[in-house]
Structure 1
Amino acid sequence: MRAPSGYLLAARYRLLEPVGRGGMGTVWRAHDELLDRDVAVKEVRLPKVLDEELRAELCARTEREGRATAMVAHPSVITVFDVVTEDDRPWIVMELLHAKSLEQIIHEEGPLEPRRVAEIGRQILGALRAVHAKGILHRDVKPSNVLVTEDRAVLTDFGLAALEGDVSITQAGIVLGSAGYIAPERVLGSKASPAADLWSLGATLYTAVEGRGLSGRRTAAATLAALTSGEPIPMPKAGPLAPVLDALLRIDPATRLDSVRASLMLARVAAGGSAEEPLPRGKSPSKSSNKSSNRSSGKSSGKAQGKSQGGRIPASLAQPPSYAGPRTGGCTAPTRPRRRSPCPRPGSNVKAARASIAGVSNSGRSRRLMLVSKRR
């Protein structure tokens, strides 16, 4: 039974008007008469199919989770002021935000730009990482639980998150959440995990950028059947956000994108870049190409130098311009051919080089003698 307007909760919080409703509760705009400020009050309504023992257990868990959430200081985590148990059910008192839910924004504006969706996702992922570090799982990430202000994206509804993950709930055959946003492993009966929250985040961002849900099915089982059919998920409007969504929406949680890499990829897309990972340092192809180009340029320069002398100097003596002798006691290769023998490279055949030079000089001397004899 829903509380009426004007109801005074815990002799302190006056319920004024509902600002949001869901399958498991109502969010009220209320006034804290003790501190004279407006707050939001989440009225939790437990399923009627639960017996009294299970209801009491879930109420206790909700109180513990609400208090744990209050210890998380993060700008994208809704601030919890108080947890009250009244009328045999928990009530969550939170900060009141002047914002619209992501679900309402999608309904009014249609598909959102990938960069805008990436920024919203980056902030909500920061909230999930903060609560996961405290051992808290949200278990109900969806567009209606994301509030967007002028400068913030805030994850809400942590009170309902405490109602899932218990063994007795699985035995009762109840899976709490919304069809299309429940991770596949949860539909199959597995325990909730941080990876399940990441899948729900991926489904939320998919809805925001594409303007529609993953499959449009009304039940979680029908959604799971559509996802496991083997058909690729269509992402015609995701653009640079597609690699992130594809990695977050993997069926197997072991191969799903982790929160650290997802945060980095979302930040890149939000900044106008690509989500893909850059090449690791030290493995840039430019270095190897530079080395190969240097080797090829050295060979070509040696051949060019040999041809530039008109074939007078043997190729065995042509040295590349980059060669230099030892720093101590060595000589450098001459840039122009001289009458004296050039300094041979280390390891060259010195005798062969001298013999070839001598052959060239003797042939030149014989030609001069022949010319002189003809003149005579």
Structure 2
Amino acid sequence: MSEAMRPSDPLAVGGFRLLRRLGAGGMGVVYLGRSEAGALAAVKVIRAESAADEEFRVRFAREAELAGRVESPWVVRVLGADATAPEPWLATAFVAGPSLGEAVGEHGPLPPSAVRVLGTLLAEALGAVHDAGLVHRDVKPGNVLLAVNGPRLIDFGIARAADDTALTASGLVIGTPGFLAPEQARGEQAGPASDVFALGCVLAYAATGRTPFGSGTPDALLYRTVHDEPDLDGVSGELRAVLDACLAKDPRARPAPEELRARLAEDAPAAPSAWLPDPVARTVAERSAESLALPDIEPTVVDEPGDASRPRKRLTSRRRLLVAGGAVLLAGGASGAALWAAGRDTDHTGGEAKSAAEPTYVLGVQVTRTGPDANLGKACERAAQLAVAEHNAAAGSAFTVRTRVRDDDGTVDGATSVAHEFAADRDVFAVFGPTGEVSMRAASRVYAAANLTNVSSTTGQSDFFVSSPTVTFQTGAPHEAGGTAIALSALASGQVGRAGVVIDRAGGSIMHDQGNVVVTSWRQTLGAEVLPRVVAEDTDDGPAAVRELLSRGVQDFVYLAPLEATVRAAGQLARAGFTGPRWMSHLLYGSDFPRLAGAAGEGWYVVTPAVDPAVLRTKEATRFTAAWRARYGSTPEPYATEAYDSVRMVLREFARTVPSGGGRPARPALAARLQKATYHGVARTYAFSEYHQYAVTAQNMGSETYVHQVRGGRFRQVGPILPSQGNQ
């Protein structure tokens, strides 16, 4: 999504009249520009302070020179550059379509025929790159834009000549984990075959909607790239054979781009965008139409000097522009309104405004009300309502907040629709949610494009920062931390023994990443023997893994799997008479495990930052529990406390961005405050890491992560991992 020009922005650069801001980062700004001939361009301008380093200017000049070498209709064209200017700039043809990552995130995987066409054209693009003597080194979904007449490969920021090692340090991993070849993951020199491997990852992502080596921390992705086979489930036939070849661990076994193009070649589509599914084609067409509707220049927006509360004035009265779309180095995003189905919308005032003049703002609440995430959605929705009601009732509050609750069905389409609605409404200052990982992956892209802050207390994937690096925050601990928590709780309780660890891949990359941490921590930190076993997806190997580990005389058991598989394992262990310590995934806290497992579930542990405030004796926990009971007639349910804290933190930081006397704050201001915020909640202190996740430390891992055990048919909180540091 584009933004209005600011007073400090230049009017023109290198013969390009600048129209709008397409995005900004630490190094500079990308503008939508128009040449004297009327051609649209994405103009990247580097800030003077960033360009003060002469070595940086050398690299920037190389980027422009290298990109300019390539001649292909499927590689974005360089229109001009000047690395010697006080503020260096690079202009490329503007592509008015979404990135591949955005298209798949919003609309789901592409059909096999579309993947084959995409692969054919991108293979041709890589052939041109390699013919120019270059290696791209960062082929990924965000660097593939979908235009009306086909895809474009962009971003030569880290490309280099095939025989150039001068700017590459030995052992340095450069590129995007998850789309790097094994040789790059090992820090070795990248060659043309490395780009083919990356293209295979991109096509696998387009075909399945997931990266072939899962998600998680960069180290985990690099390890799996080198040692694991790619996840290509759902891909079959010749396309599967082609992807297998591209993803060969040995670079010599991968096809050259020309061979790859021949194997993937499809008949040319009847229409320029007929190869794309209808929803994606419509998005591309809409973006293209919008980019052509540029009769005037958007006026610069200025604030009246000395009074931030006064309405902003425009220098000229001109027709407004809305330019949506991808651009070089940016993942674009539409923000058109998408009205939700009748009966699913819920708006609450949370208390009346104290006066007619008091401003009112809207907090969007995105939850899933059905399926396995329904309980999470209910707890989060209730927590948001309580936090907002308390804000509105507090003496001295300068504004009123309304909540607008939307159910996203836990699907990509549902989450995208809800996110578009919230993004299009300028009264919405932030969004609490989504509550599920699938919804988060789709919605965060939309919020990123709209600069709309969203905070989730129930997700924990580590890679949302890639697609939403400025406005998406997670107050739930990273999933990988759950593995460390299990090992630490075993150590603290004196229950470290020979452990059997079962990792069921049916639970997705979360179980695998958490399991890797458990195994490593048990072996290297606790110094104890561990026997890991992996259950492949779509198999029934779980019981066999349990039998085999029991036969090896394990004393501890960690079973990381979805609910039904864990319940079955509990029954199997109970029938075998196993009474040693047993841990499940933190994702099952608050689930139906106690009821479904029955007597076999008694004694199982789950370790999670989620707290039961009703058993704490602190003043704040007692107050919160009483307020919840008064409003809802029960004690707070699992995950309610973290949701309540998250909304309270958002409201506190938002209040500090509201101009005195009212007015609409700039959307990015809230995210900027949250990134630096520290908030003391009911049972823990919240601060964010550089990736906008809850910052896990040795202190809060011990004192603010809680051990729960199944007793009497329900989860009961035993205490923090390290009771002596706890707030019981």
TM-score computed with the length of structure 2 as normaliser: 0.33
Question: 1:216-295 to 2 correspondence within 5 Å?
Answer: 216-231=214-229, 233-267=231-265
Write the distance in 2 (CA, Å) between the matches of 1:228 and 1:11. Answer: 45
For 1:35, the aligned partner's letter is A
Moved more, 253-262 or 225-234: 225-234
Query: Could you say which residue in structure 1 is the equivalent of 2:31?
Result: 28
Distance 2:47 2:167 in 1: 16
Q: Is residue 2:61 matched to residue 1:60?
A: yes
Residue 38 of structure 1 and its aligned partner are, at CA, apart by 2.1
The residue aligned with 1:39 is: 41
1:260 alignment partner AA: E
Note the C-alpha offset of 1:188: 1.6
CA offsets 1:151-172 (integer angstroms, 9 cap, x no match): 3111111244249985354327
Letter in 2 for 1:58: R
Determine the C-alpha separation between the residues in 1 that align with 2:18 and 2:111: 37
**SS of residue paired to 2:83:** strand
1:80 matched to 2:73: no
Deviation string 1:26-45 (CA, Å, 9 cap, x unpaired) is 5431122x334321123468
Q: Distance in 1 between matches of 2:161 and 2:30?
A: 17
Instruction: Write the distance in 1 (CA, Å) between the matches of 2:217 and 2:263.
Output: 31
CA drift of 1:247 comes to: 0.4
Partner of 2:336: none
User: Matches of 2:26 and 2:232 in 1, distance apart?
Assistant: 29
Instruction: Select the structure of larger CA radius of gyration.
Output: 1
User: Gapped runs of 5+ residues in structure 1?
Assistant: 272-376
Task: Name which of structure 1's ranges 180-189 and 216-225 shifts more when overlaid on structure 2.
Answer: 216-225
- Aligned ranges 1:14-25 → 2 under 5 Å: 14-19=17-22
User: Which consecutive residues of structure 2, in runs of 5 or more, have no partner in the other structure?
Assistant: 1-5, 270-728
Mark the CA change 1:226 to 1:175 in structure 2 (over 3 Å): closer, same or farther: closer
How far apart, in 2, do the equivalents of 1:235 and 1:120 lie?
A: 19
Report the alpha carbon displacement of residue 79 of structure 1 after superposing the two structures with TM. 1.5
| Partner residue, 1:334 | none
Distance 1:27 1:195, change over 3 A: farther
Q: 2:176 and 2:28 mapped to 1: Cα distance? A: 14
Q: How many residues align?
A: 265
Matches within 5 A, 1:123-272: 123-162=121-160, 167-171=165-169, 174-231=172-229, 233-267=231-265
| 1:175 CA drift (Å) | 3.2
Matched letter for residue 41 of structure 2: V
Paired amino acid for 1:139: R
Residues 175-216 of structure 1: CA distance to partner in whole angstroms, max 9, x if unpaired? 332111122211222222111111111110111101011223
Map residues 335-346 of structure 1 onto 2, 5 A cutoff.
Answer: none
Conserved? CA contact 1:187–1:221, under 8 Å: no
> Per residue, is there more helix in 1 or in 2?
1
Q: Using the alignment, how far apart are the partners of 1:238 and 1:38 within structure 2?
A: 40
Query: Do the aligned residues in 2 keep the contact of 1:29 with 1:41 (CA within 8 Å)?
Result: yes
Q: Summarize the Cα distance change of 1:229–1:139 in structure 2 as closer, same or farther, 3 Å threshold.
A: closer
Aligned pair in 2 of structure 1 residues 244, 24: CA closer, same or farther (>3 Å)?
A: farther
TM-score, normalised relative to structure 1: 0.61
CA drift of 1:140 comes to 1.2
Equivalent residue for 1:364? none
Q: Distance in 1 between matches of 2:231 and 2:19?
A: 43
Mean alpha-carbon deviation: is it higher for 202-211 or for 131-140?
131-140
CA distance in 1, matches of 2:54, 2:201: 34
Question: Quick one: structure 1 residues 243 and 131, their matched pair in 2 at CA, closer, same or farther if it must change by over 3 Å?
Answer: same
Deviation of 1:267 (Å):
1.0
Deviation at 1:242, TM superposition (A): 0.8
Please give the alpha-carbon distance, in whole angstroms, between the structure 1 residues aligned to 2:26 and 2:122: 22
2:92 to 91, 94, 102: 94
Whole-angstrom CA distance in 1 between matches of 2:168 and 2:178: 19
CA change 1:147–1:51 in 2 (3 A) is: same
Q: Secondary structure at the match of 2:125?
A: helix
CA distance, structure 1, for counterparts of residue 163 and residue 218 of structure 2 = 17
User: How far, CA to CA, are the matches of 1:65 and 1:42 in structure 2?
Assistant: 16
Q: Secondary structure at the match of 1:171?
A: coil
Structure 2: which amino acid aligns with 1:16? L
Once the two structures are superposed, the pairs formed by residues 285-364 of structure 1 within 5 Å of their partners are: none
Alpha-carbon distance in structure 1 between the residues aligned to 2:49 and 2:261: 35
The Cα shift of 1:236 comes to 1.8
Letter of the 1:66 partner, please give it: A
Using the TM superposition, give the Cα deviation of residue 120 of structure 1 relative to its aligned residue in structure 2, in angstroms: 0.7
Q: Give the Å deviation of 1:256.
A: 1.4
Which letter does structure 1 place at the counterpart of 2:55?
Answer: L
CA contact (8 A) 1:113 1:209 kept: yes
Corresponding residue for residue 281 of structure 1: none
Q: CA deviation at 1:230?
A: 4.4
Structure 1 pair 175–105 and aligned structure 2 pair: CA distance change class (3 A): same
Distance of aligned partners of 1:45 and 1:67 in 2 relative to their CA distance in 1, 3 Å threshold: farther
Question: What does residue 119 of structure 1 align with?
Answer: 117
Q: Distance in 2 between matches of 1:28 and 1:164?
A: 31
Q: For residues 111-169 of structure 1, what are the alpha-carbon distances to aligned partners after superposition, in whole Å with 9 as ceiling and x for unaligned? A: 11011011011001101101211112211111111111233111111244249985354
Query: Would you say the 8 A contact 1:18–1:27 is kept in 2?
Result: yes
Superposition RMSD in Å: 3.5
Q: Secondary structure at the residue paired with 2:66?
A: helix
* Deviation digits for residues 341-363 of structure 1 (CA, Å, limit 9, x no counterpart): xxxxxxxxxxxxxxxxxxxxxxx
Q: Residues 182 and 120 of structure 1: is their aligned pair in 2 closer, same or farther, counting only changes over 3 Å? A: same
Provide the rounded CA distance (Å) in 2 between the counterparts of 1:154 and 1:178: 18
Evaluate the alpha carbon distance shift between residue 24 and residue 241 of structure 1 in structure 2; reply closer, same or farther with a 3 A threshold.
Answer: farther
Find the aligned partners of 1:128 and 1:141 in 2 and give their Cα distance. Answer: 9
Taking every aligned residue pair, what percent have the same amino acid on both sides?
A: 35
Asked whether the equivalents of residues 178 and 225 of structure 2 are also in contact (C-alpha less than 8 Å), the reply is no
- Tell me the amino acid that sits aligned with residue 29 of structure 1: L
**Structure-2 change in CA distance of 1:11 and 1:224 (3 Å):** closer
Q: CA deviation at 1:261?
A: 2.0
Measured at CA, do residues 46 and 263 of structure 1 come closer, stay the same or move farther in structure 2, by a change above 3 Å?
farther
- CA gap of 1:94–1:204, structure 2 versus 1, over 3 A, is same
Deviation of the 1:7 alpha carbon: 2.1
Partner AA of 1:242 in structure 2:
R
Please report how far the alpha carbon of residue 67 of structure 1 lies from its aligned counterpart in structure 2 after TM superposition. Answer: 3.0
- Letter aligned with residue 60 of structure 2: C
TM-aligned CA deviation for residue 262 of structure 1: 1.0
> Are the aligned partners of 1:114 and 1:239 in contact in 2 as well (CA < 8 Å)?
no
Give the C-alpha shift of residue 68 in structure 1. Answer: 1.8
Give distance in 2, aligned partners of 1:267 and 1:258. 14
